[in-house]
Amino acid sequence: MFTKILIVEDDVNLAKALSISLAEEGFKVSIAYDGLEGLSLAEKHQPALILCDINMPKMDGLTMLAELRKNDWAKNIEVIMLTNYSDQQNISQALKHKAFNYLVKSDWNLEQIVEQVKKKLVI
């Protein structure tokens, strides 16, 4: 039984790097490239954790998160927000929609991110 992880990230390269690392750790990874796609994939795969970018085309990460939390099935999905904004407003906005980790991508290496994921999923 593989733990499902959804990556919502509009930058193909970052999404790829993340998925490689997580797949190496044995997670089943799917990738969405915008918020709308993220919502539909989340519903489809019902992942245990979502790594979600904030600034994305079509639907941004915070809106997606708000939409997601409206569904009963999504209530317990763990979320780690990924962004390259150190802008505080985004953080406080995100905090409204349940507790989650907020990572500035460039400050973290992949190992650390995987560690955070594992911590969340209590593996």
Partner 1 sequence: MIEHSFTIFFSLFSLFFIIILGLIVIRNGRQLINRLFTLLNLILIIWIFGSLMLLTAQNEAQIIFWDLFIYAGIIFWAAIQYHFSLAVTHFNFKRKIALSIAYLLSFFFLIISRTDFFASGVFYYRYGSHTQAKLGHHLFMIFFAIYVALFFYILLKKYYQEKNKIERSKTFYYILGFSVLNFIGGTAFLPAYSIPIYPIFLASPLIFSLIITYSIVYLGLMNIKLIMRRYSVYLLSFVSLFIPAYLILYYIYLFYFQYFFPIFIAIYISSLISFDPLKKKYYYLANKYFFSSLYDTKNLIYKLNNDLRSSLEIKKIFHSVTKVLTPAFHFKSIAIIKFNERQKEWSLLYNDSFPKLDLKIKHINNNDINKIFSNNQPVNSKTIQENSEVTSMFKKHLKSLRIELLIPIRINKDKLNYLILFGPKESGDPYHKKDLQILKIVANEIGIAIENALLYQSVKRFNIKLQKEVARATTKLEIQNKTLVKLDEVKDEFISIVSHQLRTPLTGIRWFTEILIKNKDKNLNHKQIEMLQHIGASNMSLIKLVNDLLDVSHIETGHKFIINKNNFLVNELINEVLKENIYLIKKKKLMIDNKIKKDLVIYADRDKIKQVWQNLISNATKYTDDQKTIQIYSRVNNKNQIVFYLKDEGVGIPQKEQAKLFNKFFRANNASLKHAEGTGLGLHIARELIRAHQGEMFFKSKENRGSSFYFSLPIIKK
Rule CB under 8 A: which residues touch partner 1? Answer: 11, 13-14, 17-18, 20-21, 24, 55, 84-88, 91, 104-107, 109-111
* Nearer Cβ to partner 1 (45/98): 98
CB of residue 106 to partner 1, shortest distance in Å:
4
CB of residue 105 to partner 1, shortest distance in Å:
4
* Nearer Cβ to partner 1 (25/67): 25
What would the 3-class secondary structure string for the chain be? CCCEEEEECCCHHHHHHHHHHHHHCCCEEEEECCHHHHHHHHHHHCCCEEEEECCCCCCCHHHHHHHHHCCHHHCCCEEEEEECCCCHHHHHHHHHCCCCEEEEHHHCCHHHHHHHHHHHHCC
* Nearer Cβ to partner 1 (56/77): 56
CB of residue 110 to partner 1, shortest distance in Å:
5
